[in-house]
Structure 1
Amino acid sequence: MRESGPSPTGPTAGTALLLRLVRDGRPRTRAELAAESGLARSTVAERLDTLLDSGLLCHTDKGPSTGGRPPSLYAFNPGARVVLAADIGATHLTAALTDLSGEVLAEENVSLDVAAGPDVVLEELCRLGGALLDRADRARGDLMGIGIGLPGPVEHRSGRPTNPPIMPGWDGFDVPGFVGGRLGAVTLVDNDVNIMALGEHRAHWAEAEHMIYVKVATGIGSGLIAGGRLHRGSQGVAGDMGHVRLPHGAELPCRCGNVGCLEAVAGGSALARRLTEMGSPVRTSGEVAALARGGSVAALTLVRQAGRDIGEVLATAVSFFNPSVIVIGGALSLAGEHLIAGVREVVYQRSLPLATRDLRIVQSRAGERAGIHGAALMVVEHALGPAHAESPVPEGLPVPIR
């Protein structure tokens, strides 16, 4: 996600700008920070004192001397605070405690049906959050914020799910209020594929201005990176490709209430159902992928065709959006090259040569950690961005977005 440079005017912008500079991992002297930020040396000195007091900045080894006293070097301190990142799927909950660079300090993964409802799922998340803080020997006051990805449409501004097809009881539920109230920290919520796109992009494709991340698991969804930033759309549902109707989808019912949707044809649940009917009983997309890796001809055939079906929708997206990278992730992507080969087959055949000339269609590099990295990054970017960087200490943290 690209960070637009804040205007170097006013205290908040100055602090955010210095943070943005040092977060690249390279220590800098006070003179270098003044030169790169365009801020006055007196302003830089004042902002550095604020950041040092907060713990977000620290002194490191002295810089090379030019004949006098060696200058001090200032570096970002990712261990100053921690973030609780949660990736909630249809049948699992992964919670991790990370530092401010996204490095995982402690992690827990449990099987949990999201259809059990928000009270059950979020209560378990809060329990795991407390346990992870204890395991990492961190106090509640060290928690900068909480980032959550949900497997359904989310109005990002309020953090509330909106008519999620596979999440009964979640519609309009105040997720930030529930979790943030119990753990005492700002809580941000987004669609799970959006945070996966965010994590994958920052960790492995930061140079790509336009990228599509596709999650193929129980359902199918995508996250869009446009101009280096996550694109949510006006209501937060951009990239909901799983509910695009396929011409050959017939009258297959989809969980959204429509028929013939891509998810109903090529999602992990659809493939598992067909394999079970063919005599190979499986329940989840992970089991479908394992069967394909084991050489099952039936599984390989279905996975390859699922790739072609997904490719039909992506070919249209390529023509409209013209990305430079399409990343395929999710449990079904672990079936091997067969899924991606099916996607490539159709996209390269049906899209214009100019649109596909430099297009790469690849498997996710972040893998199962994409959601965790993205959820943590969402919180860090929010807390250390221009709107809140002047008050990076716990008592100055912003309240949850409503």
Structure 2
Amino acid sequence: MNNRVVLDLLVEHETLSRSDVRTLTGLSKPTASSLLQRLEESGLVRPSGLGDTGPGGRAPQLYRINPTAGYAAAVDVRPGSVRVRISNIAGAMVTECVDENDQVEHGPESAAAIIRSCCDSAGLSPAQLDAIVVSVPGSYDIATDTLSYVDHVPGWQHPSVGAELRMLFPDASVAIENDVNLAAIAERRAALGESDSFFLFWLDDGVGGAIMIDGALHRGTRGAAGEAAFLLIPGAVLDAESRTEGALERLVGDQALRGLAAGAGHEAATAAEALRALLDDPTAATAVAELCNRYACAIASVVALLDPARIVLAGKLARLGGEGLRAEIARQLAEIMPAAPQLTVTVATDTPILDGAMLMSLGIARDRVFTT
């Protein structure tokens, strides 16, 4: 237990002296010294130069995590692309690779090939990976080892996708996670000091959501919690397409946004182009208000059930719309609900899914490496 506490402190502070360990843990001087010696002998910790000279005139020996003690990989699977990031156990990125072609949609085997290629570029063997977290734009049911809502990513619909990945990387702990859930993990880290209970509303080419309760993801019994695309709001059409694509998706997804833009006189090839055109056109205020009303109605449904401390707008469209979009959604929400929660725009980076996957992967890798 003491070993793990000190290792986690070294991850947090990067370098510590024996005195620092004593101060932060309350351990005695002999215990702190023997503990650091034991960790150094195990290969998990190594000396890292000298600190500032103290009152006694001697500079203390500093220690840090041995970065080569383990490695973690994060994989973001998108329609037409796979991005891989590898970090050492201390959290420093070693390499990042992206493959954009039709072949990446051939399921776990193609993703595995890109992971191996990324390892090669970093001078690593795939056997050196302690953890691999794969992000997918769908819901993963861990009980049945199957993915749902991934028709747009060919090759990932068959059963036992997790087992296939684990067979391809037998030396690593492999996990599959929903992409928006991982974005919520990145948001929680980026927004330290804010409430750990929030709903992340994902606004992109499609719509999605993630539920964070007291700092932990709520995935539901089938891994489908937060699938906001299937929310029913006024104006939703109930038909076969809504059952497979989602009723809300049809009202705020790519086609709907381009339709709103076309109605305002703007032809757009993507959802982002459509939103930009609407926001830049003062005469399109009615269309913007209609879009924000749809968002607000969806958020109201979530608030009525979850009562989160805050709602976070995330995804490409949320970042593009910024404060103007947030303010209009907040205004519409206030008209629907007597007491709406705080509504904010994400503070995570522009790669929140990959960042969240790496945070999860590092956590898994450290659990494996630090307890051996």
TM-score band, normalised by shorter chain: 0.7 to 0.9
Select which of 341, 355, 363 maps to 1:373. Answer: 355
Deviation at 1:228, TM superposition (A): 2.1
Answer yes or no: is 1:62 the counterpart of 2:62. Answer: no
Select which of 186, 192, 203 maps to 2:190. Answer: 203
Deviation at 1:374, TM superposition (A): 0.6
Deviation at 1:42, TM superposition (A): 6.2
Unaligned runs of 5+ in 2: none
Answer yes or no: is 1:389 the counterpart of 2:370. Answer: yes
Deviation at 1:192, TM superposition (A): 0.5
Deviation at 1:83, TM superposition (A): 2.4
Matches of 1:79 and 1:318, distance apart in 2: 45
Matches of 2:101 and 2:255, distance apart in 1: 16
Look up the match of 1:96. 85
Answer yes or no: is 1:161 the counterpart of 2:153. Answer: no
Select which of 166, 170, 179 maps to 1:192. Answer: 179
SS at the partner of 1:24? helix
> Are the aligned partners of 1:64 and 1:71 in contact in 2 as well (CA < 8 Å)?
yes
Matches of 1:278 and 1:111, distance apart in 2: 34
Q: Normalised by the size of structure 2, how large is the TM-score?
A: 0.82
The letter for the 2-side match of 1:374 is: G
Matches of 2:329 and 2:371, distance apart in 1: 46
> Are the aligned partners of 1:180 and 1:186 in contact in 2 as well (CA < 8 Å)?
yes
Q: How does 1:284-295 map to 2 (within 5 A)?
A: 284-289=270-275, 291-292=277-278, 295=281
Matches of 1:328 and 1:54, distance apart in 2: 45
Q: How many residues align?
A: 369
Select which of 214, 226, 239 maps to 2:213. Answer: 226
Q: How does 1:280-319 map to 2 (within 5 A)?
A: 282-289=268-275, 291-292=277-278, 295=281, 302=287, 304-319=289-304
Matches of 1:86 and 1:297, distance apart in 2: 42
Give the stretch that moved more between structures: 85-94 or 192-201: 85-94
Matches of 1:257 and 1:156, distance apart in 2: 21
> Are the aligned partners of 2:81 and 2:104 in contact in 1 as well (CA < 8 Å)?
no
Matches of 2:40 and 2:357, distance apart in 1: 26
The letter for the 2-side match of 1:213 is: L
Select which of 320, 333, 344 maps to 2:330. Answer: 344
The superposition leaves residues 162-219 of structure 1 with CA deviations (integer Å, 9 ceiling, x where unpaired) of 4646456634533333334334532111100001110121133354322222221232
Deviation at 1:372, TM superposition (A): 0.9
Deviation at 1:262, TM superposition (A): 1.2
The letter for the 1-side match of 2:140 is: V
Q: Normalised by the size of structure 1, how large is the TM-score?
A: 0.76
Matches of 2:137 and 2:236, distance apart in 1: 23
Answer yes or no: is 1:361 the counterpart of 2:349. Answer: no
RMSD: 3.5
1:30 and 1:237, CA in 2 relative to 1: closer, same or farther beyond 3 A? farther
Answer yes or no: is 1:333 the counterpart of 2:318. Answer: yes
SS at the partner of 2:355? helix
Identity of aligned residues (%): 23
1:321 and 1:105, CA in 2 relative to 1: closer, same or farther beyond 3 A? same
The letter for the 1-side match of 2:178 is: N
The superposition leaves residues 305-343 of structure 1 with CA deviations (integer Å, 9 ceiling, x where unpaired) of 333212212123334434344322222224323543342
Look up the match of 1:106. 95
